[in-house]
Chain A
Amino acid sequence: MTDTQPTGTQPTGTLLERRNPTVKVALLCAVSLTTLFLFDLSVLAWLWGLGVVGALATTRLGARRLVLAHAPFVAFGVGLVAVNAVTRPGPALVTVLGMDVTRAGLAVGAALALRALLIGVVTVAFLASTPPRELMVSLTRHARLSPRYAYALLAAHRMLTAMPRRWATIRAAQAVRGSGPALPEAGRAVVTLLVGAIRGAERTALALESRGLGSGPRSVWHVVPLTWADGVFAVVVTGVAGAVLAFA
C-alpha cells in the first residue's frame, strides 16, 4: 500500500491539502480521460514533469517518497514497453530473441508507459493530500453521493487499513499449523478474510442503523468547504495542461 496518506487537514495544510476533494477527483478524472487520446511522447513527458513539480511543490511528499511511490507505476510501464515493442507491425529496428522490435511498437509502448507515470504522479499527489473522511464528506455534499454509501465506504475503509495486518495474521496462523501447497492455502486465507469482513459488515450495518443513518437529512461536524480558491485551482490546472497540449 502506498504510504502517502496525509495525517490531517487542512485549513492550515499545504496548497493541495486545502483544496476541495471533489474538485481534485474531477481533475484526476479529467487528466485520466485526456491521456486516453494522447500518444505524443513530448506532450506526455511535459505533463508528467509538471505533475512531478506540482506534487513536490503542493504536498508534503519529499523527493524520496515520490520516487518510491513511482515504483509500481514504473514496473507497469516497463511491462507495457516490453510487450508493445515486439507486437506492433512495422519495419524492424532490431531482433531480440527471434522477435522483431519495431519503431512504432517502441513509440506506442513508451507513450502508454508515460501515460501510466502521469496518472501515477497525479494519483500519488491526490492520495497524499486527501484524507478519506474529507473525501466522503465532500462527495456527499458537493457530488450528491448518498450518505448510505459514503458512510458504508468510510466504515469499510477502516477495515481496509487493517486488512494487510489481518492477512498477515491469517497466513501466520496457517504457517503455525503447517502449511500445505501455497495456492490452496492462499485461497483458504481469502475465504477467511472475506468471512471476517462479512461478519464485520453485519456489525457495522447495525451500528450505522442504530445511529439513524438513512432516516433523514444529516449534518456534519467539520464541513469541507468549496471556495473560489478551488475554482481558481481548477482553472490554473486545466489552463496549464491545455497550454502544454497546444504548444508542446
Chain B
Amino acid sequence: MSTELGRRAPRLALKDVVLMVTLGVVFGFLYWVFVQAWNGLAVLMGPAGDLAQHVLLGAWLLAAPVAVAVIRRPLVGVIAEVIAAVVEVFFLGSPVGPLLLVAAALQGIGSELPFALGRYRHFGWARYAASGAAGAALVFVFTAFRDAWWGTDLLTVRLLVQVASGVVLGGLLAKVLVDALARTGAVDGFAIGRAQGVIPGRYERRVR
C-alpha cells in the first residue's frame, strides 16, 4: 500500500490548480467573445462564412499549450481546455451545448500530446506548431461527425484550413503568448520560471 502511494505522481499544488482553472476561465471568456464574432461572421458572409470561420478555429486551442508551458505537468492542458468549455457551456451559454466538453477534451489531448512526447521539457517553435496541428486534427474528426460533414464537397478543404489555423493560431500564437507572459514576470513562480532559473519574488529589471 505504502509502495503504491510512493509511486503515485505527486498531486498538483493548489497554486497550480488555481492557475490552471484561472487560465481555463479566462480562455473560456475569450472563446465566448470569439464565438459572438464567429456568429456575426457567419451571418455576414453567408455560405462563405463557414470556411472563414475555419480560419479562426485555431484560436480555440490556445488554453492547452499555454497551461502546459507554464505549469509543465501531465493533463494540465486537457483540464484547462475542459474548464474553458465548462465556462462556455454552464456559465455563459454555448449553442453547441455540453458536447463542447468532448470537443474540448479532444482539443486538449491533441494539443498536449507533442509536449507529453517531449516529457514536458521541450518548448520550441516546432513543438508548438505540432501541438496546434494535432489539436485541430483531432477535434476535426469529432466535429465532422457531429455536423455530418462526411461525404460533403468541402471535407478536405475544411481539414486543411482547420489544421493550418491550428498551427498558426493554436500553436505559434501560443508560443508568442507564453513568451510575452514570461517577459512580464507574472509566471516566475511557476514551473516555467523555475526552468528558466528565475527566483520568484526577486526583483529584476526587465529590458524589452
Q: Which residues of A contact B (CB under 8 A)?
A: 1-2, 4, 25, 28-29, 31-33, 35-36, 39, 69, 72-73, 75-80, 82-83, 85-89, 99, 108, 112, 116, 119-120, 122-124, 126-127, 130, 132, 135, 148-149, 152-153, 155-157, 159-160, 163, 190-191, 193-195, 197-202, 204-206, 208-209, 213-214
Interface size on B, residues (CB 8 A): 55
A123 and B97 contact, CB distance less than 8 A: yes
Which of A72, A148, A202, A213 makes the CB contact (< 8 A) with B35?
A: A72
Instruction: Identify which of B2-10, B42-50, B126-134, B160-168 touches chain A.
Output: B42-50
* In the complex, B152 has a CB within 8 A of chain A: yes
Measured in the bound complex, the distance between the Cα atoms of B97 and A132 in whole Å is 17
B181 and A198 contact, CB distance less than 8 A: yes
Residues of B within 8 A of A79 (CB): 39, 42-43, 49-50, 53
Q: If A120-B93, A191-B184 touch, does A72 touch B189 (CB 8 Å cutoff)?
A: no
Residues of A within 8 A of B21 (CB): 149, 152-153, 155-156, 201
Q: If A78-B42, A79-B39 touch, does A198 touch B25 (CB 8 Å cutoff)?
A: no
Measured in the bound complex, the distance between the Cα atoms of B43 and A83 in whole Å is 10
Which of B90, B95, B186 makes the CB contact (< 8 A) with A72?
A: B95
Measured in the bound complex, the distance between the Cα atoms of B161 and A104 in whole Å is 25
Q: If A152-B18, A197-B26, A198-B19 touch, does A28 touch B97 (CB 8 Å cutoff)?
A: yes
Sample of 7 further A-B pairs with CB below 8 A, known A119-B97, A153-B25, A194-B181: A2-B92, A120-B93, A127-B93, A157-B25, A160-B29, A193-B26, A199-B186
Q: Which residues of B in the span 37-92 have a Cβ within 8 Å of any Cβ on A? A: 39-40, 42-43, 46-47, 49-51, 53, 83, 86-87, 89-92
B91 and A160 contact, CB distance less than 8 A: yes
Residues of B within 8 A of A159 (CB): 22, 25-26
B97 and A31 contact, CB distance less than 8 A: yes
Nearest-neighbor residue (CB-CB) of B24 within chain A: A156
From DSSP, what is the main secondary structure of chain A's interface residues? helix
Residues of A within 8 A of B23 (CB): 194, 197-198
Write the nearest CB–CB distance from A120 to chain B, whole angstroms: 6
Residues of B within 8 A of A35 (CB): 97
Residues of A within 8 A of B194 (CB): none
A198 and B93 contact, CB distance less than 8 A: no
Q: If A200-B22, A204-B18 touch, does A75 touch B92 (CB 8 Å cutoff)?
A: no
A72 and B47 contact, CB distance less than 8 A: no
Interface string of B126-160 (1 = CB under 8 A from A): 00000000000000000000111001111000000
Measured in the bound complex, the distance between the Cα atoms of B79 and A56 in whole Å is 35
Nearest-neighbor residue (CB-CB) of B146 within chain A: A36
Q: If A28-B98, A205-B18 touch, does A82 touch B177 (CB 8 Å cutoff)?
A: no
* In the complex, B191 has a CB within 8 A of chain A: no
